[in-house]
A and B are shown apart, each in its own frame.
Chain A
Amino acid sequence: MASSDRIFGLVTVGVALAYVASATQVQTSFLADPVGPKAFPMIVGSIAALCGAVMVLRPDAEPDWPELRTLGAILVSVIALVIYAYTLKPLGFLLPTAVVAGLLSYQIDPRGLRAILSGIGLSVSLFVLFRFVLDLSLVGLPKFITG
């Protein structure tokens, strides 16, 4: 029977073996010590593979995964955060923060107006806090607006 633990254990065994395999490819320099840069990762990877195998053989009870809609909400949040990571530098702090904070707020509690207000509120108040109280170097608005 497939269970989350079994699938995860299998993935772990695969990743761990790949890790061990790539450890064998690590270049050794002429300054080698008796152990070298390969042995320790190979031991760690082998133990990890063993643990993965144990998870396949003796899985725990199935965790309660969220329903499809909630999973979708988490996916939306992840995508929003990834976009945030890419836009924080080119677009400045204020705009991306307002949008992403509002979106996250909506995912946690779907109330439109409050989400918009908390997005804008968080963006402005955190900017004031970081820029003026804590004196961090943050760019507020993108260059093409401020010129």
Chain B
Amino acid sequence: MTDLFANLSMGFGIALSPYTLMLAVIGCMIGTIVGALPGLGPSNGVAILIPITFTLGLDATEALVLMTAVYYGAMYGGRISSILLNIPGDEPALMTTLDGYPMAKNGRAGDALVISGVASFVGALLATIGLMIFAPMLSRVAYSFGPAEYFALYLLAFSTLGGIASNNQAKAALASCIGIGIATIGLDNNSGMPRFTGGNLHLMDGIDFLVAIVGLFAIAEVFFFVESHGKGTALGVKLEKVTVPVRDIVKSGWCMVRASGVGFVAGILPGAGASLGSFLSYMSEKAIAGKKGGFGTGVPKGVAAPEAGNNAAAGGALIPMLTLGVPGSGTTAVLLALLMTLNITPGPTLFTDRPEVVWGLIASLLIANVVLLLMNVPLVKIFVKILQVPPAILMPGVTMVSFVGIYSLTGSYFDLLLMVGFGIMGYVFRKLDIPTVPIILGILLGGSMENKLRDAMVLSGGDWTYLFSSTISTSLIVAAVLGFIAPIFLRRYLTKPQRVSD
């Protein structure tokens, strides 16, 4: 316990310097705006900002503070477009629209925004505390992980991501394979031989994951806006004076705490992440409230539960990401990309080798959370104004920022072309209901997955049963198989609620 406080005070020592504090505040501001804008969510918002942050020449801790502030800010901001426009910024925010939008239509938009803001704060705060307690514990367990265990863990991440978060196992597995396949392009790590480059010199270094992320997340979104002509982004509800509905907040207090617990646990599962967190917390609160609870008609608890669960899951997802290097959601995958860009290798050694990074990050999460609560309740009207920027100006802007980011990172027109290619791919795949997050995960983890497999085979002299040699690896592989197959049978009972239509 004393360790915890010593570490935490070291973290605050780093995060409370005036410069990093300023970065945190700026990050929160940008994050909330990015999250609130329709068409931009935590994952693509953070994705387009990574290349630019990288070229600014910030050091690792500063860049991390800035981007995690953006990440948490985008989680907060996402609720604004969910509630006022019925447009979820990303998958986990879908649950907030279920009660948030009806509440806004009933003339309680201000109340819904404040309640969800407080719920976000509670969820994120509890999850950050959980992160401080459980992450060092898990990192000690992770020390005993050998290549076989890591390989099994990657398998689990891909199968739960495909199994739980998508509608069709084959498509999710295909997406993972595509990602891993893309990761194999370039020079082979072990033998140094080129693979799948087709003799193209640009492909020797492999495909930069940032190019793929920005293309799949941001450029694809532009094509969707061209298709819809930006319709459905007009503000349909009025936001009157914003007051703090103290009674509703107190009444849904326990509900927020329960939802945070559910969300946090779901967030820790590798691959499952934030979508599952907000889904489970909404469904369990709906079950507790029963028919009289009126979930789905615009009740405060229906806004509080998914928003607390969503933010708690975002915090929980940081645990496997930091200790094992396996992200739990699309957005944490993007954060992993950020760490890799900054040359920080997540894993158990991160906690012992670079404690200043870990604890500086945790301290800045706590700071960002308080800043966001203070910023979001009184300033919500300003963010609503920003929401009204027409997509015909916003989306070209997003495109140009993406291009400049990638261009200043790599300086090559070939990467820009690749990015456009990934954009087309993202558009077609989303049309066909093929999830794109496993592609990102595959590109990020495919290389290490292959390395771990080959390391394991070197250790065992080519004996494949080595993969099942320890209890940890065997149970991880069993969990992976179950996590992939079980949803096929459960899907009949666990239908995802669809968006409320007007």
In the complex, per-residue mask of A77-109: 1 if CB is within 8 Å of any chain B CB, else 0? 110011011101100010001001110111111
Contacts A60-B168, A108-B395 given; does A74 touch B196 at CB 8 Å: no
A136 in contact with B408 (CB, 8 Å): yes
B392 in contact with A51 (CB, 8 Å): no
State how many angstroms separate the Cβ of B463 from the closest Cβ of chain A. 9
Of all chain A residues, the one with the shortest Cβ separation from B172 is A51
A105 in contact with B457 (CB, 8 Å): no
B371 beta carbon closer than 8 Å to chain A: no
B191 in contact with A134 (CB, 8 Å): no
Chain B residues whose C-beta falls within 8 Å of the C-beta of A58 in the assembled complex: 170
A29 in contact with B226 (CB, 8 Å): no
Chain A residues whose C-beta falls within 8 Å of the C-beta of B190 in the assembled complex: 31, 33, 37
Chain A residues whose C-beta falls within 8 Å of the C-beta of B413 in the assembled complex: 85-86, 88-89
Of all chain B residues, the one with the shortest Cβ separation from A82 is B420
A70 in contact with B191 (CB, 8 Å): no
A147 beta carbon closer than 8 Å to chain B: no
A14 beta carbon closer than 8 Å to chain B: no
B171 in contact with A48 (CB, 8 Å): no
A51 in contact with B177 (CB, 8 Å): yes
Chain B residues whose C-beta falls within 8 Å of the C-beta of A114 in the assembled complex: 392-393
B432 in contact with A33 (CB, 8 Å): no
Chain B residues whose C-beta falls within 8 Å of the C-beta of A121 in the assembled complex: 393
Chain A residues whose C-beta falls within 8 Å of the C-beta of B177 in the assembled complex: 16, 44-45, 47-48, 51
Taking a contact as CB atoms closer than 8 A, the residue among A36, A73, A119, A135 that contacts B396 in the complex is A119
Query: Which has the most chain B C-beta neighbours within 10 Å: A35, A60, A63, A122?
Result: A35
B342 beta carbon closer than 8 Å to chain A: no
B226 in contact with A88 (CB, 8 Å): no
In the complex, what distance in Å separates the CA atom of A127 from the CA atom of B461? 57
The interface size bin for chain A is 35 or more
Of all chain B residues, the one with the shortest Cβ separation from A76 is B226
Binds A, one of B76-84, B123-131, B217-225, B319-327: B217-225
Taking a contact as CB atoms closer than 8 A, the residue among B230, B419, B450, B462 that contacts A109 in the complex is B230
A41 in contact with B222 (CB, 8 Å): no
Of all chain A residues, the one with the shortest Cβ separation from B196 is A22
B202 beta carbon closer than 8 Å to chain A: no
A40 beta carbon closer than 8 Å to chain B: yes
In the complex, per-residue mask of B185-210: 1 if CB is within 8 Å of any chain A CB, else 0? 00010111101100000000000000
A78 in contact with B424 (CB, 8 Å): yes
Contacts A55-B174, A107-B226, A136-B52 given; does A40 touch B454 at CB 8 Å: yes
Dominant secondary structure of chain B at its interface with chain A: helix
Contacts A109-B229, A136-B404 given; does A37 touch B188 at CB 8 Å: yes
B457 in contact with A31 (CB, 8 Å): no
B247 beta carbon closer than 8 Å to chain A: no
B52 in contact with A118 (CB, 8 Å): no
Of all chain B residues, the one with the shortest Cβ separation from A55 is B170
In the complex, per-residue mask of A17-46: 1 if CB is within 8 Å of any chain B CB, else 0? 001001100111101111111001100110
A74 in contact with B223 (CB, 8 Å): yes
Chain A residues whose C-beta falls within 8 Å of the C-beta of B245 in the assembled complex: none
A109 in contact with B391 (CB, 8 Å): yes
State how many angstroms separate the Cβ of A72 from the closest Cβ of chain B. 10
A45 in contact with B181 (CB, 8 Å): yes
B396 in contact with A34 (CB, 8 Å): no
In the complex, per-residue mask of A117-133: 1 if CB is within 8 Å of any chain B CB, else 0? 01101110010001000
State how many angstroms separate the Cβ of A46 from the closest Cβ of chain B. 9
A51 in contact with B173 (CB, 8 Å): yes
Of all chain B residues, the one with the shortest Cβ separation from A67 is B227
B416 in contact with A63 (CB, 8 Å): no
B237 beta carbon closer than 8 Å to chain A: no
B350 beta carbon closer than 8 Å to chain A: no
Chain A residues whose C-beta falls within 8 Å of the C-beta of B168 in the assembled complex: 60
In the complex, what distance in Å separates the CA atom of A110 from the CA atom of B194? 47
A26 in contact with B195 (CB, 8 Å): yes
B193 in contact with A26 (CB, 8 Å): yes
In the complex, what distance in Å separates the CA atom of A109 from the CA atom of B177? 37
Of all chain B residues, the one with the shortest Cβ separation from A28 is B191
Chain A residues whose C-beta falls within 8 Å of the C-beta of B431 in the assembled complex: 4, 63, 65
B195 in contact with A34 (CB, 8 Å): no
Chain B residues whose C-beta falls within 8 Å of the C-beta of A35 in the assembled complex: 453-454, 457, 462
A10 beta carbon closer than 8 Å to chain B: no
A137 beta carbon closer than 8 Å to chain B: yes
Taking a contact as CB atoms closer than 8 A, the residue among A8, A74, A134 that contacts B227 in the complex is A74
A105 in contact with B52 (CB, 8 Å): no
Of all chain B residues, the one with the shortest Cβ separation from A79 is B420
State how many angstroms separate the Cβ of B439 from the closest Cβ of chain A. 12
Chain B residues 389-440 with CB under 8 Å of chain A are: 390-393, 395-397, 399-401, 403-404, 407-408, 413, 416-417, 419-420, 423-424, 427, 431-433
In the complex, what distance in Å separates the CA atom of A41 from the CA atom of B458? 18
State how many angstroms separate the Cβ of A70 from the closest Cβ of chain B. 5
B180 in contact with A44 (CB, 8 Å): yes
With contacts A102-B396, A108-B392 known, what are 6 further pairs, Cβ within 8 A? A26-B188, A44-B177, A44-B184, A51-B177, A104-B399, A108-B391
3 closest Cβ pairs, A-B complex: A34-B462, A85-B416, A109-B392
Offer 8 A-B interface pairs, CB within 8 angstroms, sorted by A.
A34-B461, A40-B454, A41-B196, A51-B177, A78-B423, A78-B424, A85-B416, A88-B413
